[in-house]
Chains A and B, each alone.
Chain A
């Protein structure tokens, strides 16, 4: 499994996801600079890490979505290569056209960092096969703009095609307004592309890989990817 982590100016969780990839897949990923033109030959997985690329001063992810490396990432995805965007990475994926919809400001208009339960919606993808069907995991959220919105038709298609990857819920797996931390439509925390090879998600599985630091519920995602 060969992973490349793209670093944009303002990325700040690249070391977190590099550590998670190392622990979860047993392979050391490589860092790629945003101004590069190409991905390393043989890249299986591209990761767009969390952070505040370009300060999030325009729309979150808008400038990074147009960075030079993103042409290579789009080509990689079109070939069926795996792409994982976490938090700011998810925002970059929607801005780059790789995923539909948009991340709006949190409904309560504040940045929110806390532990949050997620329902793993399906376990037959490259990202989630190490999880058990119906599993509820607890990972961290840390964002100010994670409120997922899309037009009705897009939401209908995402739901109908099984492209919702994770949903905010409580410890028992119940989904509802009181367990939705940011106002996302249908409590959506992450979505797949049509071919299920691109995943964008707001929560941070990369920060939940050890019992000493909050738990290991995020490890399943990286273990799943180790087979890629």
Chain B
């Protein structure tokens, strides 16, 4: 057992991730030297992961309210009103550092944590999504990390019983030493039965529920608040182990318990475990908390107060219960085979008191633990903006057809079937649009409503121009929801960046936040929950700035939705939005020409809204058969995806203007959609678009078994499909498999 009365040396303080000035702040706050347990509690509460000390100042600038927002950031998850007395509860959270060290367990506990955040609020999870970033496919660890993370996400979600319906996976050498695993969960609750962390009433029992506490994950949150070096693997013991079976039982027991009216407050034990959850419940309710640790159910004997307070063992909950209903609550947990222990009481002292066998191990002011955490306005500088690259200035090394086949079979744009087939995306029987489309569509209960959900960001845009990149991430999520017929309602953000102590990284962060804020305001798309992951850096090299945007939208009648597959031959293909041929930062320039350069496409938010609202109205009126938003790879890749999904080809006219052909086919201009409709209907749509000031033009006709782009030779759908479907399974089979074949 670690004794509580050890000398607090500068080395010990540093090992707890606290800077000398932060330690001085502790001394000033409590007026004495802290005990070891208290030092541990401060390190848990004041690390970057829990305190948001580098980001808080900037996060405050984000729009978080709208008439339909029930709960914005600050609780376990965001809550929005979706009508009919129902609420949607959702959040995204990262598990980046642990997933690099131990991919399977890192990913499982990421999924487990976010599911717990959602059902802590009283919601039953109905869908999960994820945004994954891996290093270069050539990096020796990438295959191992992809296999482990994907198996881990599936292993947890499949067993827990939530469909994993969507996400995003990308590869880039800047993630070689720091992969990103961002997990998102979406749940449904009754709008007037949402549960919060705020404790009320003095002398109410604080109850520990769920799995037992072990020594796993101690300092997990501190690990996630530091950069990596070559010795990162030694941090493996700080990674927790997931138990989806325990979580499934916890879900059922919690939801059953909530029905009894006995739950006053509830908080899951996530990062920094018992410490963070107990302090939050007390501080939010202006109450003190007294814990008696000898009552904590432990997996191992001889655990010290320090270890219990910092353990990040999974599948645990803390609740404040109505004392009159304690026995009833206990019976429910016993039925599900879960631990139930009264480990403390609320008090009126505003102190956070931790006792172990009668001995006081910690006695701290509860409000100040959170409120007085350091907050930094870190220096930030704006990098120089790269110059715009005119399409005409670039010579195309491949024909349009050759480039298209290469792009649809590239690591970033290839089919991710190998990944999502390992996720149960059909359980619960409400998956109306499964992975592979613009956004997933999930029916709410027995309908008629549905939810559209998506995860998006284009990190190379954010690197080149953080403000435009931040805007684009939000705009693309909004566009993807629109493309399936959803009305975008709200956002959860997962802001992944490098080391904030580097001014240029902090500059990326500040810029992206500004762009995200502008876009969310312009598109009525407030942020209701989120998570910040900093220090994604190894040996001084940081990741691309990656603010993942998880968007949720509503479909009033889920039967009226759109998908990207061509439905029939002989339909007119309509391009909505202006095509200028913006080639800077395009995947064509990067993957075909080998140049990762230039300014990203600018985002005009007013145009986004105008074009998107126009398209959504067409879907709602059932006037179009097929809708796809244009993003990576531009028009040509969009057309190929529609043809491959529907197994119906198309013949598309060459561009009328004189601009370079590759700019037309592969430029990544924003605010664009492709639609298909019966020819006569298409004419009416184009006329109406003109009247509404929306650029729209018929560019071709569906049909046949090949895609013909302008004057180029037709590309068979079979050839496109082979390139698109074969890359990832072939890659994952490993270099040896190629030799063996």
Q: Which residues of A contact B (CB under 8 A)?
A: 9-10, 12-13, 15-16, 19-20, 50-52, 54-57, 110-114, 140, 142, 144, 204, 206-207, 209-210, 212-214
Contacts and interface: CB of A to CB of B under 8 A. Distances in A.
Nearest to A109: B151
B431 A114 contact: no
Interface string B394-432: 000000000000000000000000001111111111111
B422 A19 contact: no
Contacts of A144: 158
Contacts of B429: 15-16, 19-20, 206-207, 209-210, 213
A215 to B, nearest CB: 11
A16 B422 contact: no
Interface in B323-352: 336-337
Contacts of A15: 428-429
B659 interface: no
B427 A16 contact: yes
B161 interface: yes
Interface stretch (B242-250, B519-527, B563-571, B672-680): B242-250
Given A212-B432, A213-B429, A9 B336 contact: yes
A110 B147 CA distance: 10
A51 B249 CA distance: 12
B431 A213 contact: yes
A113 B421 contact: yes
Given A110-B151, A111-B158, A212 B245 contact: no
A110 B244 contact: no
A57 B151 contact: no
B443 interface: yes
Given A10-B245, A13-B427, 13 more contacts: A12-B159, A16-B428, A19-B429, A52-B159, A54-B245, A55-B246, A111-B158, A111-B424, A113-B158, A207-B426, A212-B443, A212-B559, A214-B426
Contacts of B228: none
Given A111-B154, A113-B422, A214-B426, A52 B245 contact: yes
B160 interface: yes
Given A9-B245, A209-B429, A142 B424 contact: yes
Contact of B248 (A10, A57, A206, A213): A10
A121 B560 CA distance: 37
Contacts of B337: 9
Contact of B244 (A52, A114, A214): A52
Contacts of B159: 10, 12, 51-52, 55-56
Contacts, number: 85
A16 B426 CA distance: 10
The 4 lowest CB-CB distance pairs between A and B, nearest first, are: A12-B161, A55-B245, A52-B159, A142-B424
Contacts of A207: 426-427, 429
6 contacts: A9-B245, A12-B160, A12-B161, A15-B428, A111-B422, A113-B421
Contacts of B249: 9-10
Contacts of B154: 111
A206 B427 CA distance: 10
A114 B421 contact: yes
Nearest to A218: B429
B245 A140 contact: no
Nearest to B450: A212
Contacts of A204: 426
Contacts of A52: 158-159, 161, 244-245, 248
Interface string B526-565: 0000000000000000000000000000000011000000
B443 A140 contact: no
A55 B430 CA distance: 24
B703 to A, nearest CB: 22
Nearest to A16: B429
A56 B161 CA distance: 13
A3 to B, nearest CB: 17
A194 B443 CA distance: 40
Contacts of A19: 429
Contacts of B336: 9
Contacts of B649: none
Interface string B152-179: 0011001111000000000000000000
Interface string B90-114: 0000000000000000000000000
Nearest to B158: A111
A50 B160 CA distance: 12
A19 B422 CA distance: 25
B622 to A, nearest CB: 15
A56 B432 CA distance: 29
Interface string B302-323: 0000000000000000000000
A182 to B, nearest CB: 12
Looking at B246, B422, B426, B431, which has the most chain A CB atoms within 10 Å of its CB? B426
A113 B151 contact: no
A57 B245 contact: yes
Nearest to B162: A12
A81 B736 CA distance: 52
Contacts of B151: 110-111
Contacts of B432: 212-213
Contacts of B559: 212
B427 A12 contact: yes
A206 B424 CA distance: 14
B426 A212 contact: no
B247 to A, nearest CB: 10
Nearest to B729: A108
A86 to B, nearest CB: 12
Contacts of B243: 55
A12 B155 contact: no
Interface in B437-473: 443
B103 to A, nearest CB: 15
Contacts of B431: 213-214
A213 B245 contact: no
A41 to B, nearest CB: 24
A106 to B, nearest CB: 10
A207 B161 CA distance: 13
A12 B248 contact: yes
A69 B433 CA distance: 37
A111 B152 CA distance: 11
A111 B425 CA distance: 12
Contacts of B422: 110-113
Contacts of B425: 113
Contacts of B558: 212
B77 to A, nearest CB: 21
Contact of A13 (B161, B245, B420): B161
B42 to A, nearest CB: 36
A175 to B, nearest CB: 21
B733 to A, nearest CB: 10
A112 B426 CA distance: 11
B606 to A, nearest CB: 35
A149 B601 CA distance: 56
B131 to A, nearest CB: 20
B441 to A, nearest CB: 10
